[in-house]
A = this chain, B = another copy of it.
Amino acid sequence: MKSSIGAIQAGDRRALARAISLIEDSRPEGRALLADAYRATGRAHIIGVTGAPGTGKSSLVNVLAQAYRRNGQTVGIIAIDPSSPFSGGALLGDRLRMNDLAGDPGVFIRSMASRGSLGGLARATADVIQLLDAAGFKRVLVETVGAGQSEVEIAGAAHTTIVVEAPGMGDEVQAFKAGLLEIADVLVVNKADREDADRTVLALQAMQALADSGLAMGHYGPQDSPRDEAGAQQDGGWLPPIVKTVAVTGAGVETLRSWIEAHAAYLRSTGAYAERELVRAEHAVRHILSERLTATLLAGLPAGLLESFIEEIVQRKLDPYSAADRLLSANGRNAHRSTFPGEGE
């Protein structure tokens, strides 16, 4: 295992890919690797990219990665696929776009399926981010689709969250993106060569004004340069800039990259970075604890007890909360024996 983390840090891509698979499969070897890797983390800047389907996120991630490469930074990309195995066509399209980056040793791309990992996707993603960080990638881009709870959780693992919009996506999409607006550190209006792009920018500004109406400040239109950072930090807070991009031509992407870097600098110059790290660490520990405790409890129950309770629930003789109560006290009675076999190495 030690040699494996050494291999990953030395740039062995196959070792990295194998380690990610171990983590995705919740294998104990993956967990041991992660414990080893953890001490080498904390150096990458994690960038979440999210937004409604159809906004061109994948293309944007692609050109943003190229922009980082031109600036000499290594880039890890994690793409969360909402798709199932049989959606080969659409996925292939995405992957082909990613091919612009293939063969570049400074880039590592991994896609993770959001299906079939019920309850564990956010955790697995956070763990894979740690591995890419330990592997030495200076920027890690995490692309998610949608505003679902797990997507928001994944965004919570990022230092800088980019919310991508596109012009002309209708009213319901407005509601969709309103949910995303509050997690955005940088707002992007992609496909900005469309004629109604400015209307989308105005709509976003109006929503920001509504959201921040407690604060007295101006809002940010697309700008050529983020050097005016004092503005972004007005009132001691960060006001998400709105950046117009055209991913297919690359227009606006350098500006976007600069805003991300400005946000990174802002986080580090204030206490915000340390705060995000604390929240993230607590979330990780709580999640791991709840998984282990449940597994240990269930493993320690008399055979068939859970099943018989579930049968009673289906028959409406028992409700799930009372069933949980009884399982907890059944376990409590065995507490003197082996409630928590310490899993430490």
Residues of A within 8 A of B (CB): 31, 34-35, 37-42, 52-58, 81-84, 86-91, 93-94, 114-115, 118-119, 121-122, 145-153, 169-176, 178-179, 181-182, 207, 210-211, 274, 277-278, 281-282, 284-286, 288-294, 297-298, 306, 309-311, 313-314, 316-329, 331-332, 335-336, 339-345
Least CB separation from A340: chain B residue: B332
- Interface contact B115-A289, CB-CB below 8 Å: no
CB distance from A304 to the nearest CB of B (A): 13
Identify A118's interface contact among B153, B171, B281, B328, CB under 8 A: B153
- Interface contact B179-A310, CB-CB below 8 Å: no
- Interface contact B336-A174, CB-CB below 8 Å: no
Q: Is chain A's interface secondary structure helix, strand, loop, or mixed overall?
A: helix
A91 to B207, CA, bound (A): 13
- Interface contact B87-A281, CB-CB below 8 Å: no
- Interface contact A54-B114, CB-CB below 8 Å: no
Identify A152's interface contact among B41, B88, B115, B277, CB under 8 A: B115
Least CB separation from A281: chain B residue: B313
Least CB separation from A121: chain B residue: B149
A236 to B58, CA, bound (A): 40
Least CB separation from A148: chain B residue: B148
Contact partners of A39 in chain B: CB under 8 A: 316-317, 319
CB distance from A106 to the nearest CB of B (A): 24
Given contacts A83-B176, A115-B182, 7 further A-B contacts (CB under 8 A): A41-B316, A82-B176, A90-B172, A114-B147, A146-B147, A146-B151, A148-B151
- Interface contact B281-A320, CB-CB below 8 Å: yes
Contact partners of A122 in chain B: CB under 8 A: 149
14 CB < 8 A contacts A-B: A39-B317, A53-B53, A54-B170, A57-B172, A83-B179, A86-B207, A88-B210, A90-B172, A121-B149, A145-B146, A145-B147, A281-B314, A293-B293, A328-B340
Contact partners of A87 in chain B: CB under 8 A: 174-175, 178-179, 181, 207
Contact partners of A324 in chain B: CB under 8 A: 285, 288-289, 292
- Interface contact B149-A149, CB-CB below 8 Å: yes
Contact partners of A210 in chain B: CB under 8 A: 86, 88
- Interface contact B313-A179, CB-CB below 8 Å: no
A35 to B312, CA, bound (A): 13
A251 to B320, CA, bound (A): 41
- Interface contact B182-A84, CB-CB below 8 Å: yes
Contact partners of A55 in chain B: CB under 8 A: 172
A336 to B314, CA, bound (A): 34
- Interface contact B294-A290, CB-CB below 8 Å: yes
- Interface contact A86-B178, CB-CB below 8 Å: yes
CB distance from A8 to the nearest CB of B (A): 15
A207 to B344, CA, bound (A): 47
Q: Given contacts A294-B290, A328-B343, A339-B332, is CB(A285)–CB(B314) below 8 Å?
A: no
Contact partners of A344 in chain B: CB under 8 A: 322, 325-326, 329
CB distance from A4 to the nearest CB of B (A): 15
A25 to B164, CA, bound (A): 32
- Interface contact A340-B329, CB-CB below 8 Å: yes
